[in-house]
Each structure stands twice: as structure tokens, then as C-alpha cells.
Structure 1
């Protein structure tokens, strides 16, 4: 039996699913924030933040910078604000629930038009055009500006190498998005290599763009729970599926 493979035409280019990322670099920072504030920020999605901690008052937000080098969508930078959420219909709480939570993509600026169109069209990701300034050195850092307004800056201290046996196992995860009244789920598969972790380890600065005001409403900037980097991320993104409509 022949398996049917879906395709999408973006700016005259045919993309065959799943979309593949062969080479990418990643920097992330995890922050514990007030769950009610995080829920208010993403209420429009219809999803529920994954709550943990005493009284289920805490939620997890992950800020990240990706440098995509060799992908089906070309080369580009991407910043993301991700809120950990329960699968639709679940009200699970606690650390065990957090381990199986998905990432709701609330902000996703990029610096190339092709990936912007593909991301919005195929997966409903809220991609917008932005300018990125990258600082490479002992401390990796970046600035993101949108429409000429500074949104966010982060600087990472070097992390501690994690043995490949622990960090390089294949992972399957779901991301969620909401665009034009439709909430979608996208399954991704990834393998990380060259992983480093560090408690804290990141300096966060917010600017004057409205994105920064949303992060400030979460109580940021504050000390990160943990920061990490990956020398390479190999991953695929499948077609999205609709999980809710407004």
C-alpha cells in the first residue's frame, strides 16, 4: 500500500512533509512564573497552562533562540516564547504532568520571509518579521527588535556538558499554536547533541516592544531555573492538526 505524503507550496517552492531540520543551534532558558499570569497571557488559545508547585500556582515558560543552518525552510534565526500547557481536555497538575506537557508558542519572530510564510500557513505559528543581533564569544547573546522596537535580549553563560547517553535520546514532543481563530497541534521529533546545562546562567533584558510588556507581566526578568544549549538539533515537523476553533 502506497503511503500518501502531503505537500505544501510556499512562495513557489514545494515542501514535502515532514519538514526536516538537519543542522540547527539552540539556546534555551526555563523560568518558573505565576500560573494565573501565564494563563491570562494565553487565554485566547483555549489551552490551559500546566500548573505545578504548592497550590498549583506555578507555570513554566521557556524562552529560546534557534539558529537554523541546514533545513527545508532555509537558514534563519528564530526567537520563541513558549508556555508549557496540558494537552487539550487535560487538567493534570504537578511535576509529572509537566513532564508530558506540550509547548504553546506565544511569540515567534523570525528574520526570513520564506519561513514566516511557511510557519503561518502550514502550522499556524505566530511568526512575525524581526531583526536579530547576535553576540558570539565566551558568552553567547542576542537582541531581538520588531518594527524598530527592542523586544528582548538574552546573554548565556557557558553550561556544563551533558553525557550524550543522557541528552541524545530521540524525543517526540507536541507544540501548540493559535492563529486566525484556530488552535493547532504539531508533533515534532528531535535528537539533540552537544548539550550543555547550567542552573540559572542567563541574563534577560526587556525592551519597549509590546512583547516585552507581556513578559514583564509574568514577573520577568528574573533568575532562570536552568539554561541550556545544544550544538546541534536534528528534527522533523509533521503536518498540524486542528484541536480547537474560536
Structure 2
């Protein structure tokens, strides 16, 4: 079968898109499920209620260093959701849940066009301030307004053999909800309970995060020094 191709800003991308090197900082939060559902109702998807009345939000900063979409920073707000048609609940339901991408600011125009055109991701242009050192931190600013600042305490190393994992993400754009399969491999992982401080700004995105009960203590935070990923084509589901 011939691989599909997409032309973005004069560049031909052949699927799947390859990310050869990236790093990430992630924090997972337990949030009110009804508030999360109200936030993503437009998608037609249902949040995964892993505990009665509770859902999971994931806040993640990615630094893409070598990949088909170029080098850039990206901040994502994801809500864990059930696959379409599923009403599963409880801790085991997280095993089949996917990530609905609600916010996805980036700092480069090429990945913005690719992300919105190919996958329907909600990418917007942003500015990032990165703080390296004993603690890693960043600020994300959209249209001159602070969305979020996060500061991570260094986690403890996890000694695991890197393995490829398959996952699904969901997006909604122009009235269409899409599912995208992707695979990733993580190495150099560090993690800890809590371990992150969140500051919200005045941008409307920040107010949406506040509606979920943020800032609050994270369930867990982690970092990965070496991330490899592949992204396939999006499939329309509604």
C-alpha cells in the first residue's frame, strides 16, 4: 500500500511522521469529572471516570529536537477519555482510554500548519520561556498573556528497558472529531509523587484550567530525556 502524503508549506510529509528525538515534562492531575466533561462536551466524547466523580488531566511540555516537523516546543492539555461508544469506568478503564487534546500551543508555524491540517489538533502560536538548572521550569504565553507556568522537581530514575507503546489521541476541529494512533518509546525517565508547581495566568486557556480545579497537587510528575514517536493519519469518527 502506498503511504499517504501531505504537503505543508511546500514540504511533502510522508506518513507516518517520525519524531527521532524529543524530551518531555509531564504532570497528571485528578480532576472533577463533571467539570472536565463540560469542558470537552463539544467533542462528543466521554471522559474516563477512573474513580467515582473523578477524571484525569495531563499537562505536558514537549521539546521536539529532531523530527519531520522540525524543532519546536509544544504545551498540551489532555483529558483522558473513553473510546467512542464506551462507557467504561473504574481504574481498569484507563487501560483503554485515549487522550483528548484540548489545548496545544506551539512556537513554530510549520508544525502549527501540519498539526491543524493533518490531525485537526488545536494548535495556536505561543511563546515559551524555558528555565534549566536544578529545577526545570517553563512559562507558556499566548497573545501576550500567560497561560501557565510550571516548575518541576527532579524525579527519581526509573530503570526500565525502553519499549514501544501504542496509544490514541483525539482532537476536534471544524465540527469533526478525529482519532490518531501513535507509538512512542521513552528512555531516561524520572518520576515522583507530586513534584510540580503550577501557576495560572490571565489567558482564557488559564481560566479553563482553573475550572478543572487547578492549580493543585499532581498525582505524579515525570520527565523523559529521550522520546521517539511516530504519528499516523487521523481518522474521522464523527
Q: TM-score, normalised by structure 2?
A: 0.99
- Runs of 4 or more above 3 Å deviation: none
Could you give the per-residue CA deviations for residues 203-224 of structure 1, whole angstroms, max 9, x where no partner exists? 0000000000000000000000
Instruction: Give the alignment's Cα RMSD to 1 decimal.
Output: 0.5
The residue number in structure 2 matching 1:10 is 8
| 1:169 CA drift (Å) | 1.8
Q: Deviations over 1:69-118 (max 9, x none)?
A: 00000000000000000000000001000122000000000000000000
Partner of 1:152: 148
Structure 2, gaps ≥5 residues long: none
Match of 1:94 among 90, 95, 106: 90
The whole-number CA distance in structure 1 between the counterparts of 2:94 and 2:230 is: 23
Instruction: Quote the Cα distance in structure 1 between the aligned partners of 2:101 and 2:237.
Output: 15
How much does 1:52 deviate? 2.0
Cα shift at 1:164: 2.2
Give, in whole Å, the separation in 2 of the partners of 1:60 and 1:98. Answer: 9
Counterpart selection for 2:49 from 48, 51, 61: 51
Q: Report the CA distance between 1:150 and its aligned residue.
A: 0.6
Q: How far apart, CA to CA, are the structure 2 residues paired with 1:99 and 1:26?
A: 21
1:125 to 108, 121, 128: 121
- Shift in Å at residue 9 of structure 1? 0.1
Q: Does 1:216 align with 2:214?
A: no
Indicate the SS of the match to 1:40. helix
1:71-90 alignment runs, 5 A limit: 71-90=67-86
Distance of 2:189 and 2:180 partners within structure 1? 24
The separation in 1 between residues aligned to 2:186 and 2:57, in whole angstroms, is: 20
> Shift in Å at residue 170 of structure 1?
1.1
Q: Is residue 39 of structure 1 aligned with residue 33 of structure 2?
A: no
| Residue-by-residue CA offset, 1:183-220 (whole Å, 9 max, x unaligned) | 00000001100011100000000000000000000000
- Whether 2:26 is the aligned partner of 1:28: answer yes
